[in-house]
Amino acid sequence: MENLRGIGLMIAAMAGFSLEDMFVKSLSSNLPVGQVLFLLGCGGLLAFGIKVYREGQRLLTRDIWHPVAMIRNLSEMASAICFILAIVLTPLSSASAILQATPLMVTLGAAVFLGEPVGWRRWSAIAIGFCGVLMVVRPGLAGFNPASLFAVAAVVFIAARDVSTRAIPAHITSMQLSAWAYGTTILSGLLVMPFGRPPVIPSPIEISMLFGALTMGVLGYYALIQSTRLGDMSAIAPFRYSRLIFALIIGMLVFSERPDFWTLTGSALIIASGLYTFAREERARQRRLSSGPPDL
Residue among 114, 110, 162, 108 nearest 133 (CA): 108
Give the pLDDT score at 98: 92
Give the pLDDT score at 114: 79
Tens of pLDDT, residue by residue over 125-143, are 889 999 999 999 887 666 7
The answer on pLDDT for 233 being more than 70 is: no
Tens of pLDDT, residue by residue over 6-62, are 889 989 999 999 999 999 999 988 899 999 999 999 999 999 999 899 988 888 888
The answer on pLDDT for 256 being more than 70 is: yes
Give the pLDDT score at 282: 73
Q: Which residue has the higher pLDDT, 188 or 294?
A: 188
Cα 208 from chain centroid (whole Å): 24
Q: Which residue has the higher pLDDT, 292 or 1?
A: 1
Q: Crossing angle, helix 148-165 and helix 102-113, to 10 degrees?
A: 50
Tens of pLDDT, residue by residue over 162-198, are 888 888 888 888 889 889 999 999 999 999 999 888 9
Cα 175 from chain centroid (whole Å): 17
Tens of pLDDT, residue by residue over 77-96, are 999 999 999 999 999 999 99
Q: What's the chain's average pLDDT?
A: 87
